[in-house]
Amino acid sequence: MNAALNSAKKYRHLIIRHWQGQARLWQSYWLMGVVGGWLIWTLVLNLVEFGFLPEILGVIILAGYSVYSAVGIWRCAFNVDWHIWGYLARSIIGISAFYFIIELMQFS
């Protein structure tokens, strides 16, 4: 019974494992952060550009995905064999959050 539970837990969908901090860092960073971010940003920006999506809704979607991605990467940071990658991933998330706040302050 325990082996079946562990097997089911292992193969849960990446979206859930990413958010819960159970995915490998490479999956979280490269698949959910880089590739997923590129896909979401491209889709949303095109929908806004061609008038299929209001700008404010586009901003909410992009901000939501950015938070989801950053939190997941932060939580998965040390799911690696070499912990320096975890420190680097968290540093990138921290620096990105800092610059995001600076941009918001300049925008206001």
Report pLDDT for 7.
59
Residue 14 lies in a domain: no
Does residue 18 fall inside a structural domain? no
Please state the domain count of the chain: 1
Q: Flag whether 84 is in a domain.
A: yes
Q: Is 104 left (phi over 0), alpha (psi -120 to 50) or beta?
A: alpha
Q: Does residue 9 lie within any of the structural domains? A: no
> Could you tell me if residue 50 is inside a domain?
yes
| Domain around 103 | 24-107
Classify residue 4: in a domain, yes or no: no
CA distance 25 to 91: 14
Read off the pLDDT of residues 53-108 as tens digits, 9 standing for 90 and up.
999 999 999 999 999 999 999 999 999 999 999 999 999 999 999 998 898 788 76
Q: Residue with structure tokens 């938070």?
A: 67
Amino acid type, 27? Q
Please answer whether residues 73 and 89 qualify as being in contact, where contact means their C-beta atoms are separated by less than 8 angstroms: yes
